[in-house]
């Protein structure tokens, strides 16, 4: 089995929210939704790229939160 290859960096989000900021997603994705506690944090591709530990990552910027429906 191959190791996942990180290709995005998540910026921003709710204060104190703990989740992996460096992730692998399908390169065609323009929106990422991360489950954190009782809500989802939403991130959108912003067109920037950064180098993290020698790897170029597309930056996704926080765009809002929604609560999980019960």
Is it the case that residue 2 has pLDDT exceeding 90?
A: no
pLDDT of amino acid 17: 78
Q: What is the domain partition of the chain in residue ranges?
A: 8-67
Tell me which residue has tokens 């009782």: 38
pLDDT of amino acid 55: 94
Is residue 65 within 8 Å of residue 40, measured between CB atoms? Answer: yes
Q: What share of the chain has pLDDT > 70, as a percent? A: 93
* pLDDT tens readout for residues 23-54: 999 999 999 999 998 999 999 999 999 999 99
DSSP E strands in 1-70: the ranges are: 8-11, 22-23, 31-36, 39-52, 55-67
Tell me which residue has tokens 């506690």: 37
pLDDT of amino acid 8: 97
Residue range 5-19: mean pLDDT, rounded: 87
Structure token pair of residue 64: 């809002």
According to DSSP, the residues that pair with 50 across neighbouring strands are: 57
Q: Using the 8-state DSSP alphabet, how is residue 21 labeled? A: S
């Amino acid at each position: 089995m191959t190791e996942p290859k990180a290709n995005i960096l998540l910026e921003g989000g709710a204060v104190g929210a703990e989740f992996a900021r460096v992730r692998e997603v399908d390169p065609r994705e323009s929106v990422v939704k991360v489950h954190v506690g009782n809500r989802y944090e939403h991130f959108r591709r912003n067109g920037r790229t950064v180098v993290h530990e020698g790897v170029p990552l597309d930056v996704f910027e926080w765009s809002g939160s929604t609560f999980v429906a019960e």
